[in-house]
Copies of this chain bind each other. A is one copy, B any other.
């Protein structure tokens, strides 16, 4: 007998079927046992005799044969897709035994560190699973939108030869007789590929040796990176970001409504058009509405980011805001200066519900100007020779952006900590288990 999925059971009322999955929530009532069986499609209630269900505890893997029965109307569970049926077990085979669980997997009350210590198990919780079905859809949606716009997907390398882009927050790798580093972004590669495919994107791992513990930073994350040539203006880049976000929201509502419902159907308001506000304008608005005078500061504070999103929600029906024209000193060397004000750049962040989820901008595409900027930033053009090839031999006006997949997941679902939106988060204290438990600390390296 072929196994059927739990979600298919309502189509088999009155038939004998075989189902398989994990036991969850066992309830004994006299000689009868009720339990839920979880498989990849959902949950179904199983009714069994005590005899058939003996020695079976939660998370045991079972194969069950029996008949699908319609539940009496008063017993229908409207919260379950299979709520109008149950399976009357005739044969139960224990496929894999489970030890007694160290905590309740359905009604979990745990601190975040414990949740992560027990990640292989806690991921089985339906509400936690849902986070990663939502994330899968976010990434698929990003891919679909860009493919439809003629972007080519490429695979970015993650081992790089120099710690060139961002300075100190980079991981070092022992690479044979040489030094290598983990990429902080696929920036150089996506720019090089403008000369090849005009429009490219990559879904790739990036690494930041963040020496602090916050709710928004992790050391390895999945970046959704795109770059676009022959732009008419840097506003094209924000237009594409807007399309991506709108499609993401629509795709989630269409394909992940069940998962969104578990998070209280978060209200995802973007409005007709996402407001585009200069840093200086945002600071002015914050000053006027909140009295906080950050005017003239180089960057927005986390508080500013939260408040401007609330302001935009109230005034523009959008919880997303483009913050634009970051000062040159806050952006990497390849950022295009604003021709109207060379101290500012044609760059933007997309803030969503108070957090930066995208960063982007137009790039310098002119070889000489790029070389000059490399020097101005205190670097040697020689170290960028490979990258610079692309600009020596014809590069159109171009720009791009990077989405943090964990951040956007966190913001859409209203999670408190980015670690919740990361399957296996890496931070300064943890890779899977806590490193302090797993490894002795390294001896300090002798100073050279």
**Once bound together, how far apart are the Cα atoms of A328 and B334, in whole Å?**
52
Known: A157-B423, A159-B220, A205-B205. 16 other contacts (CB 8 A): A40-B199, A61-B394, A61-B395, A96-B366, A101-B393, A119-B386, A120-B386, A132-B152, A132-B154, A154-B423, A155-B222, A159-B171, A159-B207, A176-B209, A178-B435, A179-B442
Query: Quick one: which of B22, B155, B173, B179 contacts A439, CB cutoff 8 A?
Result: B179
Residues in B with CB closer than 8 Å to A423 are 154-155, 157, 189, 193
Output the nearest chain B residue to A391 by Cβ-Cβ distance.
Answer: B96
> Is A433's beta carbon under 8 Å from chain B?
yes
Residues in B with CB closer than 8 Å to A375 are none
Q: Is the interface of A mostly helix, strand, loop or mixed?
A: mixed
Residues in B with CB closer than 8 Å to A394 are 22-23, 59-61, 96-98
> Is A27's beta carbon under 8 Å from chain B?
no
Chain A, 146-166, CB within 8 A of any chain B CB: 150, 152-155, 157-162
Residues in B with CB closer than 8 Å to A192 are 119-120, 123
**Once bound together, how far apart are the Cα atoms of A45 and B155, in whole Å?**
32
Query: Quick one: which of B23, B135, B162, B396 contacts A61, CB cutoff 8 A?
Result: B396
Quick one: given A98-B394, A161-B431, are A177 and B442 in contact (CB under 8 Å)?
A: yes
Residues in B with CB closer than 8 Å to A22 are 195, 394
**Once bound together, how far apart are the Cα atoms of A196 and B387, in whole Å?**
42
- Asked if A176 and B428 make an inter-chain contact with CB atoms under 8 angstroms apart, the answer reads yes
26 example contacts (A-B, Cβ-Cβ < 8 A) are as follows A3-B230, A20-B230, A20-B396, A23-B394, A40-B150, A40-B199, A95-B397, A118-B389, A119-B192, A119-B389, A132-B152, A136-B152, A155-B423, A158-B205, A159-B219, A159-B220, A160-B432, A161-B433, A161-B435, A171-B174, A173-B173, A176-B428, A176-B435, A179-B439, A189-B423, A205-B205
Output the nearest chain B residue to A425 by Cβ-Cβ distance.
Answer: B157
Tell me, rounded to whole Å, the shortest Cβ–Cβ distance linking A371 to chain B: 13
> Is A182's beta carbon under 8 Å from chain B?
yes
Tell me, rounded to whole Å, the shortest Cβ–Cβ distance linking A92 to chain B: 14
**Once bound together, how far apart are the Cα atoms of A337 and B80, in whole Å?**
40
Residues in B with CB closer than 8 Å to A60 are 394
- Asked if A180 and B124 make an inter-chain contact with CB atoms under 8 angstroms apart, the answer reads no
- Asked if B157 and A220 make an inter-chain contact with CB atoms under 8 angstroms apart, the answer reads yes
- Asked if B123 and A424 make an inter-chain contact with CB atoms under 8 angstroms apart, the answer reads no
> Is A48's beta carbon under 8 Å from chain B?
no
- Asked if A177 and B40 make an inter-chain contact with CB atoms under 8 angstroms apart, the answer reads no
**Once bound together, how far apart are the Cα atoms of A130 and B157, in whole Å?**
19
Output the nearest chain B residue to A207 by Cβ-Cβ distance.
Answer: B159
> Is A215's beta carbon under 8 Å from chain B?
no
**Once bound together, how far apart are the Cα atoms of A158 and B387, in whole Å?**
25
Tell me, rounded to whole Å, the shortest Cβ–Cβ distance linking A74 to chain B: 33
**Once bound together, how far apart are the Cα atoms of A159 and B426, in whole Å?**
8
Tell me, rounded to whole Å, the shortest Cβ–Cβ distance linking A304 to chain B: 30
Residues in B with CB closer than 8 Å to A101 are 393
Residues in B with CB closer than 8 Å to A365 are 96
**Once bound together, how far apart are the Cα atoms of A269 and B220, in whole Å?**
41
Output the nearest chain B residue to A118 by Cβ-Cβ distance.
Answer: B389
- Asked if B152 and A405 make an inter-chain contact with CB atoms under 8 angstroms apart, the answer reads no
Tell me, rounded to whole Å, the shortest Cβ–Cβ distance linking A389 to chain B: 4
Residues in B with CB closer than 8 Å to A189 are 423-424
